[in-house]
Homo-oligomer: A and B are copies of this chain.
Amino acid sequence: MSNSTFSEIAQALREHASFIIMSHVRPDGDAIGSQLALGHALEEMGKTVYYYNEDGLPENLAFLPHSERITQPQGEVLDVDVAIALDCANKPRLGDNALKAASQAKLWINMDHHKSNPGYGDLNYIDSGSPATGQILYDFITAEGLPLSEVTRDAIYVAVSTDTGSFQYSGTTVATYEMAADLVRRGLNVGEINAKTYDSHPYRRVELTRRLLNTLVMAEDGRIADWQLVYATKEELQLKPEDSEGLIDMIRAIEGVEVAVFFEELKDGTIRVSMRSKNPSIDVCEVAKLFGGGGHTLAAGIRAEGTLDGIRDAVLAELRKRVDAC
């Protein structure tokens, strides 16, 4: 797969009238921000735009201007010219209902920063050197002179800020900071948008943190940390999927911890296990595979049938072996 050029993609946008813009299931800031950023540029060009996300708009991103336009598909088929997939590594991750909604589109455009993206569009632009799809869209919109409204400006900032951990992760480049400088020059209110992005969470997230901390176990001289969440607690606190997002970082960041594990009971009784390693010699993907899961060396997951205690014992036993061996 080789990339289309920005001008080929821009030409396709100019030539068509109606668009469905989608992103991956369980959307994060880069997914929603990218949808809004490009979608609003198209609207400013006089186009008809439908913003669809299989899982709808997460509550914590509802502060984004124009985000009320993000719709959850209900099985309908849209009469649109072009389908645009943003920040979505493969087509199935758009979700079944979103794919159905887009099924009549004559042209597919696929823009993403995930290395594994196979290029499932008619026009593709995959740049894994970019820390966020939002940054690719910034490059695209400024290079092609497309409208960069306040909606687009704020959406790009939130997309890139959230996907770089507020300009902290290793993918953050010179261009990332220069982009941020330019967005501020274009009138972005840094204090306000960051307060809305980071400085506000529902009480239930704090209560969830407390519950998790009360189950925290440190093992192997503090090299393994794990905590757990039973389904009854999720129900009691009426948790939403985004409430636990990133919480594992709190125990991963403990000095001396090499592996952090989050055991979670799901509604259907299966157990979800999220593992984070800080030591490349401890390959958590290897452990995940033993239980039918997968992922990367430093971040892997499992979804398995069984009791929380049973799976916890089995997974920790495998991790202990590996921690002891290095």
Residues of A at the B interface (CB closer than 8 Å) are: 165-178, 180-181, 184-185, 189-192, 194-195, 198-203, 206, 209-210, 213-214, 216, 218, 222, 249-256
Contact = CB atoms under 8 A, between A and B. Distances in A.
7 contacts: A174-B184, A177-B177, A177-B180, A177-B181, A199-B253, A206-B213, A209-B250
Nearest to A184: B174
Nearest to A249: B199
A255 B200 CA distance: 6
A181 B178 contact: yes
A203 B167 contact: no
Contact of A169 (B170, B194, B209, B251): B194
B209 A213 contact: yes
B191 A218 contact: no
B206 A210 contact: no
A170 B184 contact: no
Contacts of A255: 200-203
Q: Assembly of this chain: how many copies?
A: 2
B250 A206 contact: yes
A198 B171 CA distance: 16
Contacts of A210: 210, 213-214, 216
A204 to B, nearest CB: 10
Contact of A253 (B172, B189, B201, B214): B201
A254 B168 contact: no
Nearest to A194: B168
Given A172-B191, A201-B255, A255-B200, A216 B222 contact: no
A156 to B, nearest CB: 14
Nearest to A211: B213
B170 A174 contact: no
A242 to B, nearest CB: 13
Contact of A198 (B168, B174, B176): B168
B190 A168 contact: yes
Given A177-B177, A177-B180, A184-B173, A254 B206 contact: yes
A166 to B, nearest CB: 4
